[in-house]
A and B are shown apart, each in its own frame.
Chain A
């Protein structure tokens, strides 16, 4: 966190009042769930009303919830200075990276952007990038966005997309509470009537209010007698210091006999002692929960009721309701983080409503895609070429999240990466383990695009962040896709930190994937890279034997299997394709496959492949028409030439 953070500016030292309650509620929500609710959060108020205090309180609270979070605080000038420096040194990428990998960015005093239109584009892009990457942004300004003249419409739109709250000047109660707290912090013993007198003065601004308090404290420090009300008034009216002190010494409180002054002191002491005691206790409770953004109307009613015993009951009932709301909020955040910021979870009078919201969110929650039922690790054949990856998979199943995390299965197309990935996914599925997210990079990307279109990225993100394991097929497809890489990067970190298993498949080593961000490369390479090689003879034979057993009733001669297994194959899929052609050919003749028919099929296949090569048919990783990258064997890249069919049929 930035060293500019003031350690005193926490929620605990921020005095809540009617004027700032909404802002505090929103600030709490983003501190507890950064990036999920109100992003960006824009707080505005006149000067000296606590914007910076609240801004820094968000930072402190975020870190107290999770000390591993990365928080940046900067003023607009800091931002510009850092941006210009990075630009001049051509380090803009690392500048962006620094903030994009954080959890919370706090930007103070953005009102100055209005005077610097050239900065707006950069700030807009910066805020938009951060918000899109799920990094919480909180901005402060001394004017509401529409009044920031010259502010670009796009900037306004971006800000309006989050939440804009204002902080109003404090009322009397709020001013008195601020004074009490600050006097306490300063160790100053000032009478209640003196504090009330300061609070009663017409100050629109907390800084000015505290300035008045400071003057009173300063006079009190040099006075040998307690400062009286009259003396205090004289001090604040800019009266002569000696006169004010003399006024205190005279003990002539109101310019009349001392008796009334003594009486008033006694009454004040009694009010302070009695009115304040239980009322203040209750007010402390109100403040504590207000500070956390909860609706305290119920407690305030107890305060108005004026009965101490009832107040105690009210506090107990209130705190029970808050406990339940916290549990409900956690539950809803798991299903739909956008709802976690719903005011209903901050209102102990709406517990029933909160229960319904959670129930609905749980009913609506759509788990992420899981592993396919078609695959099982038990049907994955073990041979020299698969044993390393299979054994790594078994280790993952034995100790998910701790043994090899992430596990990256690497191999050419068709060697069984998808089978093994889904097999691991199925193996990880246990009733008490929660959802297993297992999908292909293409599906993952498509889902994100839809979520962006429908403006529901946080809930889409939550589906995966809630998963107890994340398995992604064909991670090599995300090369060059910055947005999806951002998502996977953050998801990766979240899951890894909580020891949830990550498994990826790729046709090449992460460092060889073009356009893959360094930070992802290092994370993937940092796990176990398990290779699935092209099938060896033993595997080819096992594959064919199983295929014939499953598809043909009569036993196939050993020589046929041996002959076919002997044929070179880059992938299991091509072994299966060869076996399938042999079966189809034999079926056409109404026979069981023989060595001769197998040889015919192999011959025709070779002829066809050489024809394809002669036409220069591409292979390997190619761009799909949709713009994504696909593995050639997994998409219908180009319909076969009719000549291929004819040759195939002749075979």
Chain B
């Protein structure tokens, strides 16, 4: 997809929320949806199972209006976290301008986090995307849970964030860190405009 189109003067950013099942990706989008003025948001599409698990993906378009003469749109996607939906994840990941890796801070979910992270890298590599250059932000979600159940940001960094990308502690249910994460990934994506040719 084209990130920036100078002819039509449009900026379109596709951001994919990635992570293991039940890490809070859809919760992030729901919080954003609630906080965005109605005029600025499109309809949130969520294909979920009866047990409220994302079956296919969530999609939330955001119209940020004109910025410096560019009509700016953000498209937020989530991927299904369950291992068996890899084909869907690959599809959603295509053309992503940035990825938010939503990690579950619970200590017992560390393996799932690692597996999902590895899956992300594999899928990106399969699409010929250089992981080192794609804007990625780590969100350590569920930091609001009792401390004995979760890993600290330092511990999660140690375990997951070996590239040292930006990380944000969050509690998506209460909204903590949700916009901070979105802002961080958006700015990273936009700052790459001067470096990257249109996709």
Which residues from chain A sit less than 8 Å from chain B, CB to CB?
172-173, 176, 192-193, 196-197, 199-200, 254-257, 259-260, 262-264, 266-279, 303-308
Contact = CB atoms under 8 A, between A and B. Distances in A.
Interface in B148-191: 175, 178-179, 182-183, 186-187, 190-191
B187 A275 contact: no
B117 interface: no
Contacts of B191: 270, 273-274
A168 B7 CA distance: 21
Contact of A271 (B37, B67, B178): B67
A270 B35 contact: no
A307 B197 contact: yes
Contact of A266 (B9, B11, B183): B183
Contact of A306 (B66, B74, B197): B197
Given A260-B37, A279-B6, A308-B195, A268 B187 contact: no
Contacts of B36: 256, 260
Contacts of B68: 176, 192, 196, 268, 271-272, 275-276
Interface in B57-115: 64-70, 72, 74
Interface of B: 4-7, 9, 11, 35-37, 39-40, 64-70, 72, 74, 175, 178-179, 182-183, 186-187, 190-195, 197-198
A43 to B, nearest CB: 27
28 contacts: A173-B9, A192-B68, A254-B40, A256-B36, A259-B35, A259-B178, A259-B179, A266-B186, A266-B187, A267-B64, A267-B74, A268-B68, A269-B187, A270-B190, A271-B11, A272-B67, A272-B68, A274-B193, A274-B194, A275-B67, A275-B194, A277-B194, A304-B6, A305-B6, A306-B5, A306-B197, A306-B198, A308-B195
Nearest to A175: B69
B35 A256 contact: yes
Please list the 8 inter-chain residue pairs (A to B) with the smallest Cβ-Cβ separation, ordered nearest first: A270-B190, A254-B37, A259-B179, A304-B6, A270-B187, A266-B183, A271-B67, A278-B194
A306 B12 CA distance: 14
Contacts of A306: 4-6, 193, 197-198
Contacts of A193: 65-67
Contact of A200 (B11, B66, B178, B194): B66
Nearest to B32: A260
A435 B66 CA distance: 61
A260 B67 contact: no
B75 to A, nearest CB: 14
Contacts of A262: 179, 183
B120 to A, nearest CB: 24
A559 to B, nearest CB: 99
Contact of A304 (B7, B70, B195): B7
B66 A196 contact: yes
B183 A267 contact: yes
A267 B193 contact: no
Contacts of A172: 69
Contacts of B182: 263
Contact of A267 (B72, B195, B198): B72
Contacts of A200: 66
Given A254-B37, A275-B11, A304-B7, A173 B69 contact: yes
A419 B194 CA distance: 73
Contacts of A173: 9, 69
Contacts of A276: 68
Given A193-B66, A196-B68, A304-B6, 11 more contacts: A193-B65, A196-B69, A255-B37, A260-B40, A267-B186, A268-B67, A274-B193, A275-B70, A279-B6, A306-B4, A308-B194
Contact of B6 (A260, A268, A303): A303
A264 B178 CA distance: 14
A109 B66 CA distance: 37
Among A196, A262, A266, A275, max chain B CB count under 10 A is at A275
